[in-house]
Amino acid sequence: LGEMEQSIMVNSPIVIGHRGAAGEAPENTLASFRLAAEQGSHMVELDIHMSEDGKLIVCHDDTLDRTTDISGAIRSLHSDVIREADAGSWFSPSFAGERVPFLEEVYDLLPEHIEINVEVKDSGGALFDEVLLNYLRGNNRIDRTVVSSFDHKLLLRLKQAEPELRIGLLYAADLIHHASYAALLETEVWSLHPHHGLIGACDAEDAVAAGLHIYPYTANRSADWDRLLSIGVTGIITDYPGRLKGHLSRL
């Protein structure tokens, strides 16, 4: 085997379905998570916000405008209103009637062996932390969860409040040395989630040597998958978990 193939065989990254299987189903809906699970994802990524009445709502944007048939900011809407929205038709008429899920519905839907990467988009501060941690603790969801965010202060807060929680640093920056950045935070970090184009081989090697997982986002093309495989990432976030699984099985 050549060096590239050997590296690919040794490093078998986990498949992380982005917003479920967002390339083939309306993002962040139960249909999308179901498809990601059927396609063999090891983990699914999703985004959360809090509604006006304190419910954890799965949606990428801070408004419903792009992905549903109603508009408005999630933090200003009651969950009863959010639940009326159709979150499937914008993607395809065949998904009409899909709802904007509550976080708990995704956990309830997916088999226990599928881990959940909860990306916190808009924390709303201490109240949000409490609502999220209460849900995860009260339902034995801590072990199955990696919480990620571009807001690293928020992650530090959550980690301090719940030391068992796995946290993942999301960033789009071209860092000088990725593993060193994680070390600067002086807390246990589970994973790095860099933009997939911004991490190189030495960085990946050093991060793995430091005990970090590396889950770059969001790689959808086979050429990008091959590069990530060759540098030894431990997971790949993709809109096409089925295609990535197929790609890995052909190596």
Minimum separation from the CB atom of position 243 to ligand G3P (A):
17
Give the one entry of ligand G3P, Ca ion, none that residue 102 binds, where binding means its C-beta sits below a cut-off of 5 to 8 angstroms depending on kind. Answer: none
Q: Which of residues 173-232 bind Ca ion (CB under 5 A)?
A: none
Minimum separation from the CB atom of position 240 to Ca ion (A):
15
How many residues touch Ca ion under the rule CB under 5 A: the total is 2
Q: Which of residues 162-181 bind ligand G3P (CB under 6 A)?
A: 170
* Residue 55 sits in the site that holds ligand G3P (CB under 6 A): no
DSSP per-residue codes, 106-144: HHHHS-TTSEEEEEES---THHHHHHHHHHHHHTT-STT
* Out of 28, 32, 47, 100, the residue judged to bind ligand G3P by CB under 6 A: 47
* Residue 193 sits in the site that holds ligand G3P (CB under 6 A): yes
Give the one entry of ligand G3P, Ca ion, none that residue 170 binds, where binding means its C-beta sits below a cut-off of 5 to 8 angstroms depending on kind. Answer: ligand G3P
Whether the CB-CB separation of 250 and 242 falls below 8 Å is answered with: no
CB count within 10 Å of CB 172 equals: 11
Whole-angstrom CA distances from 67 to 113, 117, 169, 187 are 29, 20, 26, 36
* Out of 17, 25, 35, 47, the residue judged to bind Ca ion by CB under 5 A: 47
* Out of 68, 79, 148, 191, the residue judged to bind ligand G3P by CB under 6 A: 148
Whether the CB-CB separation of 15 and 248 falls below 8 Å is answered with: yes
* Residue 190 sits in the site that holds ligand G3P (CB under 6 A): no
β pairing state of 166-171 and 191-194: parallel
Q: How far, in Å, CA of 116 to CA of 132, rounded?
A: 14
* Out of 29, 41, 51, 218, the residue judged to bind ligand G3P by CB under 6 A: 218
Whether the CB-CB separation of 249 and 12 falls below 8 Å is answered with: no
Report the residue number, 123 or 218, with the smaller CB distance to ligand G3P: 218
β pairing state of 43-50 and 56-58: antiparallel
* Out of 24, 115, 119, 129, the residue judged to bind Ca ion by CB under 5 A: 119
Minimum separation from the CB atom of position 218 to ligand G3P (A):
6
Q: 182, 237, 176: which is closest to 209 by C-alpha?
A: 182
Q: Is 60 a catalytic residue?
A: yes
Whether the CB-CB separation of 170 and 150 falls below 8 Å is answered with: yes
Q: Which helix (H) or strand (E) holds 239?
A: none
Minimum separation from the CB atom of position 206 to Ca ion (A):
25
Of 42, 60, 195, 247, which is the active-site residue?
Answer: 60
Give the chain's count of helices (H) and strands (E). 10, 9
* Out of 24, 98, 119, 122, the residue judged to bind ligand G3P by CB under 6 A: 119
Active-site annotation, residues: 18, 60
Binding interface with ligand G3P (CB under 6 A): 18, 45, 47, 60, 119, 148, 170, 193, 217-218, 237
